[in-house]
Amino acid sequence: MARMISYKQAINEALDLEMRRDPTVILLGEDIVGGAGAPGEMDAWGGVLGVTKGLHAKHGNRLMDTPLSESAYIGAAIGAAACGMRPVAELMFLDFMGVCFDQIFNQAAKFKYMFGGKAKTPVVIRAMVGAGFRAAAQHSQMLTPLFTHIPGLKVVCPSNAYDAKGLLIQAIRDDDPVIFCEHKALYGSEADVPEESYAIPFGEANIARDGKDVTLVGYGLTVPRALSAADTLARSGVSAEVIDLRTLSPIDWDTVIESVENTGRLVVVDEANPRCSIATDVVAHVTQHAFGALKAAPQMVTAPHTPVPFSPALEDLYIPSAEAIVAAVHKTTGPVKSAA
């Protein structure tokens, strides 16, 4: 009964289902149609990696190819949201967000607050994040902490196809601006995904694996890496619990704290640069609120504080690996346990 589809197909399906359900859902972005008007619409690009492929044939001019001006069309999407539409704008690479920070940080994120709760801004900005794609320093960053820093934005980063569909549907139905981060290295990963529509509530972490000795916290690509580390650790007798945050704003502190209270050890895995990151945020919160439960200093496994290198050998070293996670866990368990 299982229906295995990819992360990329799951996102396409969520967009399709929500466009069918709600006529105010529209899509804008660079090349999201890609070839409209040419013969053979199904052959059109459908986004730079084909995520929106086939949607123009189904929904016609509710998809709009925009000029190469992020500040213009992200602003247009935010304005359309304020006027009653539910736009989903595709920004291709999250790295390009820099040119439209004012629209996002000062406009979309502030409307509800500055208009006394009378305005809502149900816009979703989808963008690819993360390294491993050989796309160099300007197309590979994990900039999630920039967005979690801003009150008024919701920040989502799914780790698997099932979550990608349910979280994107929730993002579209949500009345606040949502930054939806799609890890490009996960586009091909498959999971059992129901054909029907379903929404995964924000602020609910998923316990991807139960364990009792150490809590591994991650999101996006670091979740499969943490699961792989947990397999290795199990062979040396260390039982690791793996928490997939799913959403970074809001963030599910309760699940993290409850887990650390059971395991006494914390390792946070974050593909973002190490300063002021999701990793530092989680470690700070746990240290402040569950200090008594900790048996060892919390550890962080992050990218180094450098741009993403273009050299494939260096880029592979840049992303937190399962081996680095295992080594960090051993720092928390001490040499006795690791020798077991």
Partner 1 sequence: MNERIKPVVMPKWGLSMSEGKVTGWLKPAGSPIAPGDEIVEVETDKIAGVVEAHETGTLRRVIGEPDTVYPVKALLGIIADDAVPDAEIDAYVAEYATQAAAEAAQEEAPRTHFIDTPAGRLRYAKRGEGATTVVLIHGFGGDLDNWLFNIDALAESATVYALDLPGHGQSDKKLDDPSLRGLSAALLGFMDALGIDRAHLVGHSMGGAIAGRTALDAPSRVASVTLIGSAGLGDEINAGYTDGFVQASSRRDLKPVLEQLFDDPDTVTRQLIDDLLKYKRLDGVAEALTALSASLFAGGRQAELVAEALAASDVPALVVFGASDKVIPPAHAQALGARASVEVIEGAGHMVQMEKAGRVNELILAHIA
User: What is the set of active-site residues?
Assistant: 139
**Concatenated DSSP letters for 224-248?**
HHHHHHHHHHHHTT--EEEEE--EE
Distance CA 270, CA 232 (A): 19
Residue (of 221, 80, 32) closest to 229 by Cα position: 221
Contact of 325 with 229, CB cutoff 8 Å: yes
What residues numbered 164-183 form the site for partner 1, per CB under 8 A? 166
Nearer to partner 1, 160 or 277 (CB): 160
Residue of the chain from 43, 231, 316, 323 that contacts partner 1 (CB under 8 A): 231
> Is residue 340 near partner 1 by the rule CB under 8 A?
no
Residue of the chain from 196, 291, 313, 339 that contacts partner 1 (CB under 8 A): 196
Nearer to partner 1, 111 or 162 (CB): 162
Phi, psi (deg, nearest 5) at residue 75: -60, -40
Residue (of 164, 217, 201, 220) closest to 17 by Cα position: 164
Residue 29: CB minimum distance to partner 1, A: 26
> Is residue 323 near partner 1 by the rule CB under 8 A?
no
Which residues make Cβ contacts (< 8 Å) with residue 128, sequence separation at least 6?
A: 49, 92, 93, 94, 139, 181, 182, 183, 184
Contact of 186 with 221, CB cutoff 8 Å: yes
Residue of the chain from 235, 291, 313, 340 that contacts partner 1 (CB under 8 A): 235
How does strand 63-65 pair with strand 25-29? parallel
> Is residue 192 near partner 1 by the rule CB under 8 A?
yes
Nearer to partner 1, 239 or 280 (CB): 239
Residue 75: CB minimum distance to partner 1, A: 32
Distance CA 264, CA 286 (A): 11
Residue of the chain from 23, 98, 188, 194 that contacts partner 1 (CB under 8 A): 194
* CA torsion angle 167 248 8 134 (round to 10): 180
What residues numbered 197-226 form the site for partner 1, per CB under 8 A? 197-201, 204, 206-207, 210
Question: What is the pattern of x (binds partner 1, CB under 8 A) and - over residues 147-166?
Answer: ---------------x---x
Question: What is the pattern of x (binds partner 1, CB under 8 A) and - over residues 248-287?
Answer: ------xx--x-----------------------------
Nearer to partner 1, 43 or 204 (CB): 204
Contact of 248 with 205, CB cutoff 8 Å: no
Binding site residues, partner 1, CB under 8 A: 1-2, 162, 166, 191-192, 194, 196-201, 204, 206-207, 210, 231, 234-235, 254-255, 258
